[in-house]
Amino acid sequence: NAGVTQTPKFQVLKTGQSMTLQCAQDMNHEYMSWYRQDPGMGLRLIHYSVGAGITDQGEVPNGYNVSRSTTEDFPLRLLSAAPSQTSVYFCASSTGRSQETQYFGPGTRLLVL
Amino acid sequence: TQLLEQSPQFLSIQEGENLTVYCNSSSVFSSLQWYRQEPGEGPVLLVTVVTGGEVKKLKRLTFQFGDARKDSSLHITAAQPGDTGLYLCAGGGKLIFGQGTELSVKP
């Protein structure tokens, strides 16, 4: 199993550009989520999904869109990048049952100029 | 809104020393998790505590869940350079995280 994979590993954008961060998992997990990590702030939840076709907002959803057309994939879209979105983005997946392990991808480092 | 506060935020110690990291909240959690993150990688689960007062041990790491299920602690005995990393507590249905404790263990 590859686990949770994320692409790209690193991206530089100009303000106003759009892009999609890819996330895929091969563990047949129902629950997937996106976090951003900034220095001194831990991980903050952006969006999450409890299954294909179902998504919901986390703590910091503004400026981001998600969709979940398959169990395996959960892309994160930046509609119009801003310097405040410079961060490291992590995708995670789990079975969705309480207290279960969240498996994280290796992260995408995004720099918005 | 559930919040998790970790302390200290930074910790730099010598190999062989003991240390404790704290995770506190004003809210009750049904369970809390501890993750460890190394530079350039995603967090990896260390342990989940689910019962008030529970103590779990993982080699030199001891995790405790408070009796009221509002706090947790991580104690490392005889720290080693390999323990260096970011330690994160997390809990709640949507899994919120504390801000993390950055540990550096010098040889």
A38 token code pair: 């900034």
CB-nearest partner of A45 from B43, B88, B94: B94
What Cα–Cα distance (Å) separates residue A2 from each residue in A6, A70, B102?
11, 17, 28
Interface of B with A (CB under 8 A): 4, 6, 9, 30-31, 33, 40-45, 48, 50, 88, 90, 93-100
In this structure, of A40-44, B44-48, B54-58, B68-72, the range with the lowest mean pLDDT score is A40-44
Are B63 and B46 contacting, i.e. CB atoms less than 8 angstroms apart? yes
Are A79 and A17 contacting, i.e. CB atoms less than 8 angstroms apart? no
3-state secondary structure B28-40: CCCCEEEEEECCC
How does pLDDT run across A21-71, given as a tens digit for each residue? 999 999 999 999 999 999 878 899 999 999 999 999 999 999 999 999 999
What Cα–Cα distance (Å) separates residue B7 from each residue in B11, B38, B47, B105?
9, 18, 18, 17
Are B56 and B45 contacting, i.e. CB atoms less than 8 angstroms apart? no
